[in-house]
Amino acid sequence: MAAADGGETASEYAFELALCARLERDDRVVARQLGGGVAAPGRRVVDVVAVDPGPAFDDRAGITDETIPPTVVEGDVGVGRAVRADEAVDAPPERRTAVLDRAVDAGFVERTRRDGVVRYRQRTRYPDGWFAGLLAVENKPDLGRPGDMERQLRYDASLALFDRVVLATESHVTRAHLNRLPDPVGVWRFDPDTGERRVVREPSPLPADDPGVEPVERHPGRTAVRVVEPSAKRRVRRRVAERAYGKGWRPEPPACARCEPTADGRPHCAAFDRVVDPARDCPDCPERAPSDPPAVDRAALRDARSPWTADPPGVAREQSGLTEF
């Protein structure tokens, strides 16, 4: 059944969740539906992002299982001294406070008070090098309905925000299909029922450390582009990795007695015998049987099946001069 808003169909959603479960078996942190732009962040949303752990991954995993707010990482909150909120984060006051509160709740920043002024300090240094690479996957189960696939993949190849880009499909892939794709883009043929993945074409590494060219506006007969500097790409790559770490891919199961989650946490409906999208399929479903959500521990599943760590010990290191605050 096609989505009413012209978005992904039920089969595309199930395909995507099955692929996420398969990628998780490769010792990666996997998330869905993340922004993939730099100059125009909202222009590109990537179906699936897989994060390869780097040498400092355990240091990152030990801080928090949530996303560390990137604006705090990029700000002037350090471990050496506590600073005021207006010094810590470059943002409007209302957003600044909300971001710092999230960083405190995540255990990355501590809030202190001195002379009646609230100040902030990192509890530990942010671990550079915690991820080794980013993989972007564009899902098109049916190549007979490609949508904007070619434009999206050319966007990814031109910007080179990700280290590798792959097209995943259930369709038979022909030479004509391959010829329409940018050369660096890899192609997988994936069976969501069995989890079997066949590599049709390996992806080539993209120059993620070099300047990229990002399409920002489309006009009849032309496309406006912007050159994105490596420093901007590095900042957004860290943001994508952080968001992926905190978000994951498993949806919250519906509060319905018909829901029988799969062993890896996908919301399977017994009435229709398929994986469903709880946000789109369930609210107006005629077969819905309101009930408490099924007892599926998404955090425990993610912890057991990927490098992500649920409820880590956090940072409890005493720092010199702490009692002054």
Contact between 31 and 249 under an 8 Å Cβ cutoff? The reply is: yes
pLDDT for the residue numbered 81: 82
pLDDT for the residue numbered 147: 80
**Residue 58 to residue 191: CA distance in whole angstroms:** 33
DSSP letters spanning 261-282: --TTS--EETTTTEE--HHHHS
pLDDT under 50 in the chain at which residues? 1-7, 317-325
**Residue 79 to residue 63: CA distance in whole angstroms:** 14
Please tell me whether residue 258 adopts helix, strand or coil conformation: coil
Ordered domains of the chain (ranges, CATH): 11-58+128-247 (3.40.1350), 69-124 (1.10.10)
255-48-279 Cα angle (round to 5): 20
pLDDT for the residue numbered 8: 61
Please tell me whether residue 290 adopts helix, strand or coil conformation: strand
pLDDT for the residue numbered 321: 39
**Residue 256 to residue 283: CA distance in whole angstroms:** 10
Contact between 287 and 257 under an 8 Å Cβ cutoff? The reply is: no
Please tell me whether residue 49 adopts helix, strand or coil conformation: strand
Q: Retrieve residue 286's tokens.
A: 């005629």
H/E stretch holding 107 reads none
**In this structure, is the dihedral angle defined by the CA atoms of residues 105, 108, 112 and 117, taken in order, positive or negative?**
negative
Tell me the per-residue pLDDT of 246-286, one tens digit each, with 9 for 90 and over: 999 999 999 999 999 999 999 999 999 999 999 999 999 99
Task: Say what angle helices 298-305 and 10-24 make with each other, to 10 degrees.
Answer: 50
pLDDT for the residue numbered 291: 93
Residue 302 phi, psi (nearest 5): -65, -40
pLDDT for the residue numbered 2: 34
Tell me the per-residue pLDDT of 174-205, one tens digit each, with 9 for 90 and over: 999 999 999 999 999 999 999 999 999 999 99
Contact between 234 and 275 under an 8 Å Cβ cutoff? The reply is: no
